[in-house]
Structure 1
Amino acid sequence: MPAASLTHIESVGLPSDAPSYPFFAFDIVHESTDGSDACCGVLRTPHGDVETPNFVFCGTKASVKGLTPEQLREAGTQIVLSNTYHLLVWPGSELVEDMGGLQEFTGFRGPMLTDSGGYQIFSMGHGSVSSEIKGQRTLPDEMRSLIDISEEGATFRSYWDGSVKTLTPESSILVQKQLGADIILVLDECTPFNVEKSYTESSMRRSHRWGLRSLQEFSRLDCQQRQALYGIVQGGTCPSLRDESTHFVNTTPFFGSAIGGSLGADRATMHSVVALTAKSLRRDRPIHLLGIGGVRDIFHGVRHGIDTFDCVHPTRLGRHGGALVRRDFWDTDGSGGGSRSDKVKEHINLKKSPFKRDSRPIDASCGCYTCRNFSRAYLHHLLKAGEQLGGTLVSLHNVFFMNRLMRDIRSAIRSGTLDEERSKWVHPALDA
C-alpha cells in the first residue's frame, strides 16, 4: 500500500528518536513445515521469557479472580494481563507505581501485559465485541459510561465514584508506565460491529493518529528501558481497511502488533478477518490477538501465525462451573452432564445434576491440582452450595488446561503434527 494512502497521520508524525526496545527481543526458533504460518518463538522481556504460541490470562483488576500467583505459576502460566481502565478507576496507577509496579503489587513477578483501556471504555458505550458474536448489539442506557469520543480522547464516567475522566493517548501511556507492565498497548477505539463502514474508517484513522501520539509519549517518557509498545490493527471486517491498518502498524516503530476491533458477527467471519490480517503483518514482530480464547479459535490463529492470545473466557467460565474438556471426554464419557443428545461443546457444566454422584475427576489424564484431588461430585456440590472454592478449583483446572493446550501446540509445531494435535482437542461435531 503506498504511503500516500496514510495522509491522515501526516499531521502527527513520528517521534524524532524512535524507540529501540533494548531489553526486549522476539526470536522465532522453529517455523512450521506443514504449509501453515505457525511458528514457535521466544518473547524476551525484563521479567522473563515467554514461549510462543502462548495464552495470556486476564487479571483484570490486578488479580486473576480466585487464584494466587503461586497457583498460576504451578499451573504453567508464563504471562498475565491487567486492565488499564479498571486500575485507573481504582486504586489508581499512582498507587500501583508507589507499591513497586504491578509485578510487586500483585506478587506475580513475571512478564505482564496491560491493554490501553480503550476496549472497556468503548464496550461500555457500545457493547463489547464478544457481545456482538452472541448477538447482543447494544447496552442498556443505565450501563453506559462513555460520554464522548473526540480527537483528543475518550471521556467517560467512572463506575467507582461517578467522576468524569478523560483518557487520551498520552494519559494512557503514562498510566501504563506507572503500572509497569512489560508489554503495553496504544490507545485505540474498538468500533462496534453494527456501524457504517464510513464510521469504521474514520475511527480506524483516528486510532492511527492516537497510535502515533501514544508512540510519541512513549518516547518522551523513555518507557523503552523497561516496556515495549504494541500497535493495534483496526478496520472492522472490511479487507481494504484492514490492509490500510496493517500497513500503518508495519511501518511504525512498534515492538509488536495486536489484532483488535470487531472481528464479525460469527466465528467464520472472525476467522476470515484474523487470517487476512495476520497474513499481512510483519513476522519479525510478535503478533497478539486481542480478546480471543476458544480452543478452535486458538488452533486457527496459530495456523495463521498468531503468537499470543488473551481472553477472560477460561477463568470466567470456571467461576460459573464450566470446565474445559478435550475431545476424548465426549468420545468416552459423552454426556456432558445430560443426555447423549446434548450438544458437544468445548466445556461441560458441572452444575448439572448427573455430576452429583460422579466420583471421577474432570479429566483423569489432566495433571492439575483439581483433577488430582477432587471428584466431579465434590465440585458439583461446591458450585451448587455457592462455595467460592468450587469456582476456584474449576478455574484452576481451566488455567492448567489452557497452558497444557499451548504447550502441546508448541510441541506439535516442532514435530509437524499440528492437525493431528487439533484432533485430540476439538471434537469433529464442533466443525460441523
Structure 2
Amino acid sequence: MKPQRRLRMFIVLLVIALGGGWWLSQHHRAQPTSQEDPAIAAMLTEPGVIARGRYLVTAGDCASCHTARGSQAFAGGRMLPTPFGTISAPNLTPDRTTGIGNWHFNDFWRALHEGIGRQGELLYPAFSYTSFTKVTRDDAIAIFAYLRSLPAVRQANAASGLRFPYNMRSVLTIWRAMYFKPGVYQAQPSQSASWNRGAYLVEGLGHCNECHGQRDAWGGLESRAALSGGQIPEQDWYAPDLSTHANGGLHGWSKQDIVDVLKAGQSAKGAAVGPMADVIASSTQYLHDDDLQAIADYLLSLPARMPPAPVHASFDNQSLIDRGNAVYAKRCADCHGKNGEGVPGIYPPLDGNVSVVEPTGINATRAVLLGGFPPVTAGNPRPYSMPPYAQQLSDADVAAVVTYIRHAWSNRAPAVHERDVATYRHTPIN
C-alpha cells in the first residue's frame, strides 16, 4: 500500500473512531444517574458479603495497581507504564470527592463489566476489564461492598501521561471493537466444578492472560492460544507460557508444583521472581487451597504447543558458551550445582527452569543483573535469594553465562546478545 493511501486510510479510521467514540460517550452520559437498588444496598453492609469481597479483591490483586508506593492501600496514584504513555490508577476508597464514595453498584458494574466509567467515558484497558468482564454480578457486589467498607482517603487522581492520539478516549472505539467482548464467564458443563472454578479465576478475576499473553502493536492480546506467554509491556520481564504439556512453558510440572509455587513462591521446578513474585506475595499465597487446586486443574488442561522455530545463530555461540561455562563455574555452580540441579527447597534448579528457557532470555538476564528474590510467604518465610551481579559482571560476561545456562544440560534456548544485556541493565525496576 502506498504511503499516501495508508495515510488517508488512517485519517478515515481516526474520524470514524472519534465520531463513534463521541456517540458512545454521549449515549452513556444520556442515561439517568443510577440509584442504588434497596436489596443491593442491604447486601453492601453485610459482614459476610464484605468478607467475601475482601477475599475476591485479594484474588484479583487489586491493591497492587491501585496503591502508590508509600501511600495508603487502594488510594490510587500509582503510575502504570504502557507503550503509549503512563496511566494513573484511580482511588478506590469511598472518599466522595476523589474516590468512589458517590458511586452506586451499577456504576461499578458498568466499569468492571463494560469498561465504561461513571460519567460514560471509555476506560483505558490498563484496567483489565477485558478479563474482569467475566466476573459474576454477585462477586462484583461483594467486591464493591468491601471497597465501600475501606477508610475513605482523600487523594486526587494524578493526570495520566498518554501521548497523542492515545490520550483521546474516542480512539478506544476501534480498539474495543477489535479486542473487547463483554460477557460473564459461562461454565462448561463438560468440565468438573473444580476446572470451571479454575477457569473463572484464571480467565476472569485473576486476569492472568493480561501478562501471560502476547500483545500486538496496538496493545491488544493476540488471538493465538491464551496463556501462551508474552513479554510484559514496559517492564522487560517475560511471563511464560503456562501449558504443562509438550513445548509448554511449564512442561513437566505437576499439579503440586503449580500449587506450591502459587502458595509458597517456590516449588521443585523453580522459584518465582520479578512481577510474579509480587503477585504471589500480595495475592495467590492467600487463596484457599481448593482455589489453588482449581487453578492447577485448569492449567493442566491447557493444550500442547507447537514446537518453536529453529533459531540460527548469527554469531559464534560456542565461544560464548565456553566463556559462560567459566563464569558459571566461578559464580553459580556452588549454589545451583554443576549440572544445574539446584538444592531442593533452597536453590532452584536451572536445568529445565521456565525462567531460564523462556524465548527471550529476559528473565535469566535480569535475574543475573538484579538478583533473584522469591516472595516472602507464610509457606516460605525466609526464602534464599540470589545476589545481583550487575557490579561484578560485564555485559559480555552476563551474555555468556546466560547463554551457557540456556544451552547446558537439557536446555536448548537461543543465545543472548551482549547488546540486550546492556538494554536490560538500564531498565528501571518496576
Structure with greater proportional strand content: 1
Greater RCO between the two (CA within 8 Å, min separation 6)?
1
